[in-house]
Amino acid sequence: MEAAPTAVAPFPRIFRVAILLEVLERLAFYGVYVNLSVYLTQSVRLSDAENGTLLGIFALLRAWLPVATGALSDRLGFRRSLITSFVGYVAAYLALFAFPSRGGAWGAIAALAFAGAFLKPVIPGTVRRYAPEGREAQGFSYFYASVNAGSVLGKLAAKAVRLLVSLRATMINSVVACVVGLAVAFFAFHEPVAEKPAETLQNYRTAAPNPEPAPATEVPGFFASLWGVVGNVRFLGFLAIVSGYYLLIDQFYQTFPVYIVRMFGDKAPREELTLINPLAIALLQVFVGRITKRFDALPAMAVGVLLGAASMALMGAVPTLYGAGGSFFVFAVAEMIYSPRYYEYVSSFAIPGREGMTMGLALVPFGIGGLAGGLLSGRLIGHYLPKEGLKQPFHVWGTYAAIGAVAAVLLFGFGLLFPAKPIKR
């Protein structure tokens, strides 16, 4: 007699609520970020130099503040952290709209970084904590699809409001999205373990009877937990290698806007091209995730980084609008392969009860790659993409492609030396 097939455990309600909150937060963020540089230079009237400095500091704060707030979210609880984040977001977007001045812009953007720092570790931490056993990779695929769905919706809404009303009015889109997010976090985000402390997380996932409550697991102190993660040389080496990947990502913000204007002029369809990446991911992420989940995390990530390098090479080798569109699509495939497995792999280092801190540390390479990419892009643009004179785009994008290729090779080697361990429950 054949055994009955094992039922696939469904994703719990809290997982679905977390995905909705991610869509709302990304809708608000990209709805402003897509035009933030234009708003700061035209409406607020910052100089190009001050605008670059402010956005550079913003990128660094967004990447590194979650290291501290991730640990704090473990103490506050995920629900309180989400409420704190959306309250901060509402205040920051309102300030950016109400005070189009130098001081208002600096204060509002700093507030945006702090608000985001309370949310960034919590959503992937929730995915890690509540995804059914055996469905972690699929859970992170849903998470990353939600990021890009929010990006598409935010940019489309921003463009519509900008054309119908004004650029400044697009800030209200983000205020509304964050007010909705605040309501959802307050009324719908409730961790089941907190509601039924006598049950273990394993019992919640399997719905198995448990007549005797499992003994409480003692959570290590903050500094002991922090040292347990950052003292892991293997983890630090991994973060250093993948910083090269995040350098590539930032070039779509640091290099691409200047590149397309200086190569094709102000009327080039910049906004439409930037939609190719998130739209492709939103539509295809779950499908790609199902295909790639059979592969180990580290080799899959290395393939993603290599495709990212190919995207950079395509941008430089085919310096046309079609080449740019193709580059965005190839990088979308790279992200679909890389990003869900990245969060899955990083979560394997998490100490139980300290998931938020570990997922905060996962953002450190964003800051390293963003800072290095900013310093490098300015030099390459000035030398090979001058305002007047001969332009050599392949020298710019080829340099990025070479960095990506080196990072991919290092990650392949890292995977051979340190095979990924299964996530501990």
Closest CA to 352 of 136, 202, 140, 129: 129
Q: State the Cα–Cα distance between residues 248 and 373, nearest whole angstrom.
A: 8
Cα separation values, 103 from 45, 89, 100, 106, 192, Å: 12, 18, 8, 5, 43
Lowest mean pLDDT segment, chosen from 26-30, 42-46, 153-157, 303-307: 42-46
Average pLDDT over residues 387-393: 86
- CA–centroid distance for 61 within its chain: 14
- 145 — alpha (psi -120 to 50), left (phi > 0) or beta? alpha
Tens digits of residue pLDDT in 75-131: 888 999 999 999 999 999 999 999 999 999 999 999 999 999 999 889 988 988 898
Written out in words, the top-level CATH class of the domain with range 221-420 is mainly alpha
When pLDDT is averaged across residues 282-302 and rounded to a whole number, the result is: 85
Closest to 397 measured CA to CA, from 259, 302, 280, 253: 259
| Residue that the structure tokens 């080697």 belong to | 413
Q: Between residues 313 and 283, which one has the greater pLDDT?
A: 313
Tell me what pLDDT residue 221 has: 52
Instruction: State residue 194's pLDDT score.
Output: 46
Reply yes or no on whether the pLDDT at 163 is more than 90.
no
Contacts of 401 (CB under 8 A, 6+ apart): 309, 310, 312, 313, 316
Structure confidence at residue 266 (pLDDT): 67
DSSP letters spanning 170-189: HHHHHHHHHHHHHHHHHHH-
Neighbour count for residue 24 (Cβ, 10 Å): 26
As given in the structure block, the two tokens for residue 152 are 């598409």
The mean pLDDT of the chain is 82
Average pLDDT, integer, range 268-284: 82
List the domain boundaries for the chain: 12-207, 221-420
Angle between helices 102-119 and 78-98 (to 10 degrees): 160
- pLDDT for the residue 297: 86
- Which one is predicted more confidently, 41 or 265? 265
Q: Is the pLDDT of residue 316 over 90?
A: yes
pLDDT digits (tens, 9 = 90+) for 360-370: 677 788 888 87
Is residue 198's pLDDT more than 80?
Answer: no
- Mean of pLDDT values over 195-212: 39
- pLDDT for residue 18: 95
Q: What separation in angstroms does the CA of 379 have from each of 31, 189, 384, 412?
A: 29, 46, 9, 30
The mean pLDDT of 393-407, rounded to a whole number, is 96
Residue of 305 and 267 predicted with greater confidence: 305
What mean pLDDT is predicted for residues 230-245? 85
Q: What is the pLDDT of residue 345?
A: 85
Identity at 298, one-letter amino acid code: L
Out of 1.20.120.530, 1.20.1050.10, 3.30.365.10, 1.20.1250.20, which CATH number does the structure's domain 12-207 have?
1.20.1250.20
Q: Residue 199 pLDDT more than 60?
A: no
pLDDT given for residue 348 in this prediction: 75
Q: Say which residue, 292 or 115, is predicted with more confidence.
A: 115
Of 328 and 273, the one with more pLDDT:
328
pLDDT in tens, 9-20: 888 999 999 999
Q: By the 8 A CB rule, do 307 and 337 touch?
A: yes
Three-state SS for 88-101 is: HHHHHHHHHHHCCC
For the segment 49-79, what is each residue's pLDDT rounded down to a tens digit?
Answer: 676 677 778 888 888 888 777 778 778 889 9
Q: CATH topology of 12-207 equal to that of 221-420?
A: yes
Q: Is 90 exceeded by the pLDDT of residue 136? A: no
Which pLDDT tens digit goes with each residue over 4-47?
A: 556 678 889 999 999 999 999 999 999 888 777 778 777 888 76
Residue 411 structure tokens: 């990650």
Higher pLDDT: 207 or 16? It is 16
User: pLDDT category, 333, cuts 50, 70, 90?
Assistant: very high
pLDDT at 205: 38
The pTM is what?
A: 0.71
Q: Which of 199, 193, 194, 201 is nearest to 211 (CA)?
A: 199
Average pLDDT over residues 192-207: 41
